[in-house]
Chains A and B, each alone.
Chain A
Amino acid sequence: MTDDGTSVEGTAATESDAAAESGNRESATAERTADRLDEPGDASLVVDDLSKSFGGIDAVDGVSFSVERGSLTGLIGPNGAGKSTTFNLITGVNEPDTGRVSFEGQDITGLRTSDIANEGLVRTFQIARELEEMTVLENLMLAPRGQSGEKLVNAVTPGLRGRVREEERALRERVWETLELFEIDHLAEEHAGNLSGGQRKLLELARALMLDPSMMLLDEPFAGVNPTLEEKLLDRVHELREEGLTFLLVEHDMDLIMEHCEHVIVMHQGQVLAEGEPADIRSNDRVIDAYLGEDI
């Protein structure tokens, strides 16, 4: 298991052990995973033998994978493959029955959702969950960590509120810059509930960014988004990646994944079916079987 302060080699070894143990995986994939993890400066997120069942249904069943630091990794699979549940297990929304999750060498299994977010691992939701009755500005102002005004005493006491206001002014600048970056500054004072589906996705990404995350989990960020906006969102993602952010992306659109991700994990019936570079995944027979009838 990845103990605290695990070195890169330690993580890699653990991962390859886990891979070897789960014999139901294609050995070639396991080897490739191990190889990839042997490279220096690698895994940001390591998921090890994660399982979760809901009332006898194994939603996630022994899932192990790792996400390389600074990568754009795709997580694909047919409906019901367990992708969203995996996200929920990673981010502490659901507690896993078995298995471990570690982020930046730290075991985050069983931590609270809020603590995980504060560690720098931030997610977005499949159906954009904006705070409808809050304005776009409020949505973004909410996110930043360590706001002193979140302490009731600071918010209320006359002598202490001045500092809170100072802080808010500084944050306001950052918020406006982020809104401009995402080109939704014209919607700043709009209630989030009035935004279109695509604008909501932009808002969610912008809001998550206000947390200064080191890794983002994006759950179908392009669902219901028109091609123009999808392009913009992808541009943002690539820009942020250049700046060092790691992305794990759940997506249905195979072409999109194949074009933009350098590493792809395929899930099927709660298990990892295959893992590798897009080209390998494309020619993988088991993946083709799972997606029978779908054009890969």
Chain B
Amino acid sequence: MSESDTDPSESDGPPSDGRSAVRRLGAQLQDGDAGLIALVMAGIYVLFTIFAILGPSQGFEGVVAAIQTVTLWTALYAMLVLALNLHWGYAGLFNIGVAGFMAVGVYTFAALTAPTGATPPGLGLPLWVGIVGGMLMAALAGALVSLPALRLRADYLAIVTVAFSEIVRLSLLSTTFEEFTLFSSVPFLPDVPLGTGAGRGISMPINPTIPVKSIYYTNPQNPAAGDFTAFGETVITAFRAVGVRQTVVVSLTYTLVLLGFVALFYWLLRRIGNSPFGRVLKAIREDELVANSLGKDTRMFKIKVFMVGCALMGLGGILWETQRGFTDPTSTTFRPIQTFYIFIALIIGGAGSNTGGVLGGALFAALLFQGPLYVSRILSKFIATGDAPSTFAGALAPVASLNLTPFVAYTLQNVSSLRFVLVGVVLIVLMHRRPTGLLGHRKEVASSIDLGKRTSRTGPGEGRPATDGGNDVGGERDD
């Protein structure tokens, strides 16, 4: 077999090896996967173009920035949703500590890459060491958490993961680990000063945006002072001509890199899902005792997949949180609500489906996460509401006398908090109307080959009549 099997649509098409990438893409579009994602993204872009035109920051740059922002959040959520899909969608492992594993990845990255002399100090290692180290540490944390919990029933894993996530966050906040020395009492080993920075946070001058900035700047650590590279000069001048500033260009480039990572996650998950390994995961999700009775040592499968998912969460966390070059434990990225958001996005898309995961990430980021902010900005621009009341009661009381203005003003002022309410409502409606999410009903066959095709003899469809008399249960049977 040649390596045509990197083809993500491998189980769908005929196993002719020499298919060109174009034809594969065509098949994907026909499948509806790539087409569906493109369609949804196009819709979101139209919406955000309208938002940008109506909103306070007008002009072409406003449109570009709005599209960049929504794409960035889509990519960030898509990555985390895909990682969670590996746990929950594929293997039925209920991990509600996503934020904790992200934090482990981010802080390990920070400790490895922060300069030795900084406060808090790090090890001053290169970027890629930080990324790999962060992923490994997140995977190790995953193993540590899953080892005791996976022996028990599914609910225990949920409890352990949520507890772990909070322990991580509170430990990072604790001043005990603000600055400490590793190996200080161990002979023959050098003292290694490290620290979390506790509430003061930790800065990450080396982070994944640096390679992106180095495309444009000769001194990516300090773009303000640095000169442009030849390529940067050309591109940034071109964008400036249409009124787009250099910071937007850099963000746009980083967003494109993130989209590349989303594609990588997607590819990896498809490979895992469409294989005998993925088949066992599916069986674990359906009925673990059956998997056991068929000779599968499900514990190993669960631990492995849990570690891989946690490593991806660590990577997602690094790409998410290090953009600003600084983090602290109060960041919303590490709060339990973050895990909840990622779950919502996965539920919207449909657990088990990777395409659904990406769609869910996009819809959540655009409509529930960013959309309300844009809408409120637009409304504030057009509706003069005056001072908003400071309490909900204060907003609600005038409604009785049919004076809606304070209520509207209050709503617009507190949109970012009121998003929780919106998210809650969406969740309830979804659970009622479509508990499987947008694409959760779709079942992707877990195999590296098309099982319906046979190399010899008859295929399916040439079946013989039903083997049983049909007087027992099978109401739903259709031949």
Interface residues, chain A, with chain B CB atoms under 8 Å away: 91, 93, 112-115, 117-118, 122-123, 125, 129-135, 137-138, 141-143, 145, 147-152, 154-156, 158-159, 161-166, 168-169, 172-173, 175-176, 182-191, 193-199, 202, 207-208, 211, 224-229, 232
Contacts and interface: CB of A to CB of B under 8 A. Distances in A.
Given A134-B279, A138-B282, A141-B451, 15 more contacts: A129-B289, A137-B447, A142-B276, A142-B291, A155-B271, A155-B276, A156-B268, A158-B6, A186-B465, A186-B479, A188-B463, A195-B477, A196-B473, A197-B472, A224-B473
28 contacts: A112-B297, A113-B292, A114-B291, A117-B292, A133-B285, A135-B443, A141-B447, A142-B283, A150-B301, A162-B2, A163-B1, A168-B447, A173-B454, A176-B457, A183-B467, A185-B463, A186-B460, A187-B479, A188-B460, A194-B478, A195-B477, A196-B472, A196-B474, A198-B468, A198-B472, A226-B469, A229-B468, A229-B472
B477 A150 contact: no
A196 B466 CA distance: 11
A56 B452 CA distance: 51
Most buried by B among A130, A150, A166: A150
Main secondary structure, interface of B, reads: loop
- What range describes how many residues of B lie at the interface? 35 or more
Contact of A158 (B3, B447, B449, B473): B3
A191 to B, nearest CB: 7
A199 B275 contact: no
A251 B23 CA distance: 55
A211 B294 contact: yes
B359 interface: no
Interface of B: 1-3, 5-6, 268, 271-272, 275-280, 282-283, 285-287, 289-298, 301, 304-305, 308, 443, 445-449, 451-457, 460, 463-479
Main secondary structure, interface of A, reads: helix
A155 B289 contact: no
Most buried by A among B304, B451, B456: B451
A199 B276 contact: no
A156 B269 CA distance: 9
Most buried by A among B5, B293, B298: B293
B453 to A, nearest CB: 8
Contacts, number: 218
A271 to B, nearest CB: 26
B445 A135 contact: yes
Most buried by B among A93, A137, A227: A137
A32 to B, nearest CB: 32
Contacts of B277: 149-152, 154-155
Contacts of A168: 276, 447-449
Contacts of A123: 293
A39 B345 CA distance: 66
A191 B443 contact: yes
Contacts of A227: 469
B469 A131 contact: no
Nearest to B290: A129
Contact of A132 (B278, B280, B286, B455): B286
Contact of B464 (A154, A183, A189): A183
Contacts of B291: 114, 142
